[in-house]
Structure 1
Amino acid sequence: MTLADEIQRRLAVLAPEQLELIDDSALHAGHAGARAGGKHFRLTIVAAAFAGKNTVARHRMIYDALGELMHRDIHALAIQARSPEEL
């Protein structure tokens, strides 16, 4: 299982209606985080669980779902998190 697969598996707890995960690691070649093995991702996720939540709360939900991956395997994660009503 790839890191991207594991990220998507863990985010399933949020029951996303849409999820797009893009590995941007190659764009950061030579960056300190890239040398240490950390990956750079862009995430777009739409889930009813985000309804009524502000941006910080949504990001915390995502970080909680990803757990130790945020400290070990993911160096950077750019997030766009929306509820279905915001599409």
Structure 2
Amino acid sequence: MSTTPELIHSYISNGLDCTHLEVDGDGQHFTAVIVSSAFAGKRPIQRHQLVYAVLGDRMREEIHALSMKTLTPEEYQG
């Protein structure tokens, strides 16, 4: 079964409390806009590590390329 944007959306939303989440992709390369208060006070690399932790082994096995924009709710509104 190939990975879809909807699957990645469900993986992220099940593991991270998001106020906004968009995932697009073609089955190989995916982009995500992830808005979560969990990102508050964290540097970009720490935010990405949070998402990678939620995705776990799927990053190696299912998801070959994921480009992320990680924002707090305040950054997203601004």
Aligned to 1:70: 59
Aligned to 1:15: 17
Gapped regions of structure 2 (runs ≥ 5): none
Q: TM-score, normalised by structure 2?
A: 0.83
Contact 1:45–1:80 under 8 Å retained in 2: yes
**Structure 1 residue 42 and structure 2 residue 31: aligned?**
yes
How many corresponding residue pairs?
Answer: 74
Q: TM-score, normalised by structure 1?
A: 0.76
- Percent of aligned pairs sharing the same letter: 38
Aligned to 2:46: 57
Of stretches 54-63 and 5-14 in structure 1, the one that deviates more from structure 2 is 5-14
Residue aligned with 1:20, SS? strand
Aligned-pair CA distance for 1:2 = 6.5
Aligned to 1:86: 75
Aligned-pair CA distance for 1:6 = 2.8
Larger radius of gyration: 1
Q: Which runs of at least 4 in structure 1 moved beyond 4 Å after TM superposition?
A: none
Contact 1:24–1:42 under 8 Å retained in 2: no
